Structure formats: C-alpha cells, structure tokens
C-alpha cells in the first residue's frame, strides 16, 4: 500500500510488476498486481486493472512498464 502521487510508491509498484511477470503470479497476463493506494476509493484499486497511460506521468506507474517485458528476448 502506498500513496497515489508518490514517486517512491511508483518505484515499489514497478518492482512488484516485474516480480509478478517473472513469477507468473495471478493476473500477470493482464499486468495486474496486488497493490493498493492509500487514497479515496475511486483510485484505491487503480493497480488492479490495466489502464492506458495518462498525465501526469510521474504520479504513478502503469502496467505497460512490466507487462510482457521479456517478450522477444530469445530472438536477440
């Protein structure tokens, strides 16, 4: 759990996303992770669903950062 506009929370969220992909945790195919924000209910579960990137970019991380991150690596 972290705050919605914290860049430190964003970093931790990205690390959780990388971990979910590597370990193939529940929901990894869609970029879902078990993370929550300490904020009003409308944003509390923002990391539980895939969403497009929108401004402000620094305010949070998006599943695009970690979803299918290793795809195509074998071709290199």
> For the chain, which residues make up each domain, given as ranges?
7-68
CA distances from 67 to 15, 46, 52 (A): 12, 16, 12
Q: Considering all CA atoms of the chain, what is the largest pairwise distance in Å, rounded to the nearest integer?
A: 44
Q: What is the pLDDT of residue 58?
A: 66
Q: What is the pLDDT of residue 47?
A: 67
Distance from C-alpha of 23 to C-alpha of 52, rounded to nearest angstrom: 24
Distance from C-alpha of 76 to C-alpha of 32, rounded to nearest angstrom: 27
- Token representation of residue 55: 């401004």
Question: What's the pTM?
Answer: 0.69
Q: What is the pLDDT of residue 49?
A: 67
Distance from C-alpha of 18 to C-alpha of 14, rounded to nearest angstrom: 6
Instruction: Note down pLDDT in tens along the chain; length 76 residues.
Output: 677 778 888 888 889 888 988 898 888 888 888 877 777 776 767 666 677 777 776 667 778 778 877 777 666 5
């Amino acid at each position: 759990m972290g705050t919605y506009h914290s860049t430190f929370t964003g970093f931790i969220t990205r690390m959780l996303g990388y971990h979910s992909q590597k370990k193939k945790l529940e929901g990894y195919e869609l970029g879902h992770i078990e993370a929550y924000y300490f904020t009003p209910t409308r944003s509390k579960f923002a990391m539980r669903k895939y969403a497009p990137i929108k401004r402000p970019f620094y305010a949070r991380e998006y599943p695009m950062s970690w979803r299918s991150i290793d795809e195509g690596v074998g071709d290199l």
